[in-house]
Chain A
């Protein structure tokens, strides 16, 4: 398998994960709560810690799964395991379209209400970088039912790539995953507020559902076309 194909799969997997909304929504909550209570400098630190927390969990999960594959699955995922991942992606595409968002003019997600209230409460009371970091890790964990299969495919591609490019591949995956949160950070830094972003999200909820769903479907099609056949 060529390195270019591996990078393309990693980019697609990263894009599919980037379309998941829990970490992004958590960051909006943190921004909104923190800017109402603290100075801008502190808000900057808190949001950076939050993004780092989410990325560290992603990094650990992908590296851990890559280690597991290399030790116990014989250097790469078998055809059957790859097909199971494709099946999970197709299920995720359907879930993203039908169940991921709750109904109504909001961006509430599939999470149990008690859990999303817990995250919202934590975001409101966070006033220290360690807490913000753990909130980021929590959001990455909570997103795992949708992202775990993506981690498997990304880890598999990273193992297939030439050894000297493996670190670059992990970093590329993390970069693509973090793009929406980094973009939000720059958007807010240039003098805008998160309410504009939230308004856009509410208005374009259907578009976001479509993009998420399509990204999972495209990844499935890509894997079937280039990895299975």
Chain B
């Protein structure tokens, strides 16, 4: 059986918003959350620049690696939010 593949356009704004949401639920100060989101989005932009296609998991792993450097809790929340139940 063939698995259906869905492709999405990379969205910097989407990544920033997602990080902001997770940061907010961790009660991080808004300014600090924005700084982290911007920093990670910059790094992701740079990383994705020379790639034609990346999987969602690759992108997630890369973002988590970046987040781990600034906030391990935020990295944990980002990586595990869909593995709770």
Which residues in A have some Cβ–Cβ distance to B below 8 Å? 21-22, 25-26, 28-29, 31-37, 104, 106-109, 111, 116-117, 119-120, 191, 193-196, 198-199, 202
Contacts and interface: CB of A to CB of B under 8 A. Distances in A.
Contacts, number: 65
Interface stretch (B7-15, B23-31, B49-57): B23-31
A37 B81 CA distance: 15
Given A195-B73, A195-B77, A202-B80, A36 B85 contact: no
Given A195-B76, A195-B77, A29 B85 contact: yes
19 contacts: A21-B85, A28-B84, A32-B81, A32-B84, A34-B25, A35-B25, A36-B22, A36-B23, A36-B24, A106-B80, A106-B83, A107-B83, A107-B85, A108-B85, A119-B85, A120-B82, A194-B25, A195-B73, A196-B73
Closest 8 CB pairs of A and B: A36-B21, A106-B83, A25-B85, A36-B25, A35-B25, A36-B24, A195-B77, A32-B25
Interface of B: 20-27, 73, 76-77, 80-85
B53 to A, nearest CB: 24
B25 A198 contact: no
A120 B24 CA distance: 18
Nearest to A116: B85
Secondary structure type dominating chain A contacts? helix
Nearest to B85: A25
B25 A33 contact: yes
Given A199-B76, A202-B80, A111 B85 contact: yes
Secondary structure type dominating chain B contacts? helix
Contacts of B77: 32, 195, 198
A119 B25 CA distance: 19
Nearest to A40: B27
Nearest to A35: B25
Contacts of B83: 104, 106-108
Contact of A22 (B76, B82, B85): B85
B84 A120 contact: yes
A198 B21 contact: no
Nearest to A121: B82
